[in-house]
Chain A
Amino acid sequence: MNKKNTKECSDMILCRIWQALKKPSVTYSLGTLLVVGFISGIIFWGGFNTAMEMTNNEEFCISCHEMEDNVFQEYKQTIHYSNRTGVRATCPDCHVPKEWHHKVVRKIQASNELLHKALGSINTREKFEGKRLELASHVWKAMKDTDSRECRNCHNFEYMDFVEQGRRAVKAHSEGLEEGKTCIDCHKGIAHELPDMHDVDPGSSIGEI
């Protein structure tokens, strides 16, 4: 509409902004516009990235009680929190991709998590346990689809020394490598408690007694 008829839209604010943007600058030199544009570009881009990084650390993640009281407490008992060498994998190391565009996609998906925070979908332990299988399944599927990309930021078949591994690990890893398996196929529930696995693997859960 704005483009079609320029004369008729003098009253409409969007239309007037569009007109102003379309007109070549008469007051400022091209140099000024370039420099100002360049500097503000840096500020906006830097600001955007800084804001994104602020939401990309453990402290931010566990600022929601849903995360702190459930998954974080479970994670604290595992090897990714406390171990021999003191190397830690924090929440975003596993749950947020490192590459920029995957990261932005994941951040946009997180708006759904904000919605459910507002709705209180998992605001009690019981509600969380009730939804745990569904939530875990989402993460398993994401990991499967990306060939466990976030695991592979640190762990990689190529750099595994099978000689140093235990008897069971050598067997499982060399077979897994051959069959084209991905980490999450076997390593489920390594950083958090598993959901009720009766529907996933009936043999490994007692189910209803």
Chain B
Amino acid sequence: MMMKNITTMLVLLAAIGFSIQATAETVSSLRGATEINQETSAPAAKHYNKDHEPIPRDYVQQPPLIPHKITNYRINLKSNKCLSCHSWANYRESGATKISQTHFESRDKNVLANVSARRYFCTQCHVPQVNAKPLVENKFEPVPAISGQ
């Protein structure tokens, strides 16, 4: 009985101590320590990476990343700038990776004569990269079947 009381006391003390410590710390938001009535300084603008070799995939289903800038590349119903190099008609001349055959399938797996409307807007899945460091530490590694290691 005595033993149980002491344990309860200790737990309570620890809880109080912890809560005091917690209230001593200020809440940190994405703004950082800047007061709400002051303007924060804008972070440096990110720049898109220059042309480089294709970036290896990290997992099987990953849409391949775009290894070049796509600034001002328009994709609309009238034209698709990506496909002016990556289409089956043009990939040989441009030396670009050709668009996957899976992109010609409708939702019901019917094969179409041209790129399927649901796969037409490339940047829904394929994205270029900027010079940004990961915000949190990340130890993700692709499985050996992908990385070969």
* Residue of chain B at shortest CB distance from A190: B72
Tell me whether A206 and B80 are in contact in the complex, defined as CB-CB below 8 angstroms, given that A78-B72, A171-B95, A189-B74 are known contacts. yes
In angstroms, Cα B71 to Cα A201, docked, is 21
Q: Which of A194, A201, A205 has the most CB of B within 10 A?
A: A205
Confirm or deny: A111 has a beta carbon within 8 angstroms of a beta carbon on chain B: no
* Residue of chain B at shortest CB distance from A168: B51
Confirm or deny: A207 has a beta carbon within 8 angstroms of a beta carbon on chain B: yes
Q: Does the CB pair B80–A204 fall under 8 Å? A: yes
Q: Does the CB pair B95–A204 fall under 8 Å? A: no
In angstroms, Cα B33 to Cα A176, docked, is 55
Smallest CB separation, B146 vs chain A (Å): 24
Q: Does the CB pair A196–B79 fall under 8 Å? A: yes
Confirm or deny: B50 has a beta carbon within 8 angstroms of a beta carbon on chain A: yes
Smallest CB separation, B115 vs chain A (Å): 6
Q: Does the CB pair B83–A203 fall under 8 Å? A: yes
Confirm or deny: A197 has a beta carbon within 8 angstroms of a beta carbon on chain B: yes
Q: Does the CB pair B94–A172 fall under 8 Å? A: yes
Confirm or deny: B90 has a beta carbon within 8 angstroms of a beta carbon on chain A: yes
In angstroms, Cα B90 to Cα A197, docked, is 14
Q: Does the CB pair B52–A167 fall under 8 Å? A: yes
Q: Does the CB pair B84–A168 fall under 8 Å? A: no
| Inter-chain contact total with CB atoms closer than 8 Å | 69
Tell me whether A204 and B50 are in contact in the complex, defined as CB-CB below 8 angstroms, given that A166-B68, A189-B74, A194-B74 are known contacts. no
Q: Does the CB pair B72–A79 fall under 8 Å? A: yes
Q: Does the CB pair A169–B51 fall under 8 Å? A: yes
Dominant SS at the A interface? loop
Q: Does the CB pair B72–A197 fall under 8 Å? A: no
Q: Which of B71, B80, B90 has the most CB of A within 10 A?
A: B80
Confirm or deny: A77 has a beta carbon within 8 angstroms of a beta carbon on chain B: yes
Partner of A193 from B52, B74, B94, B95 at Cβ < 8 Å: B74
Q: Does the CB pair B117–A209 fall under 8 Å? A: yes
Give the interface size bracket for B toward A.
20 to 34
Q: Does the CB pair B78–A196 fall under 8 Å? A: yes
Interface positions of A from 91 to 147, Cβ below 8 Å from B: none
In angstroms, Cα B74 to Cα A168, docked, is 18
* Residue of chain B at shortest CB distance from A194: B79
Smallest CB separation, B77 vs chain A (Å): 6
> Residue-by-residue, is A171-209 near B (CB-CB < 8 Å gives 1, otherwise 0)?
110000000000000000110011111000111111101
* Residue of chain B at shortest CB distance from A196: B78
For A168, the chain B residues whose CB sits under 8 A away are 51, 68, 95
For A195, the chain B residues whose CB sits under 8 A away are 78-79
Smallest CB separation, A25 vs chain B (Å): 64
Q: Does the CB pair B89–A206 fall under 8 Å? A: no
Q: Can you list 30 A-B contacts with CB-CB less than 8 angstroms, sorted by A residue number?
A: A77-B72, A79-B71, A166-B51, A166-B68, A167-B51, A167-B53, A168-B95, A171-B95, A189-B74, A189-B79, A190-B72, A193-B78, A195-B78, A195-B79, A196-B78, A197-B78, A201-B89, A202-B89, A203-B83, A203-B88, A203-B114, A204-B80, A204-B83, A204-B84, A204-B90, A205-B78, A205-B79, A205-B80, A206-B117, A209-B117
9 closest Cβ contacts across the A-B interface?
Answer: A203-B87, A166-B51, A203-B89, A204-B83, A167-B51, A197-B79, A194-B79, A196-B78, A204-B84
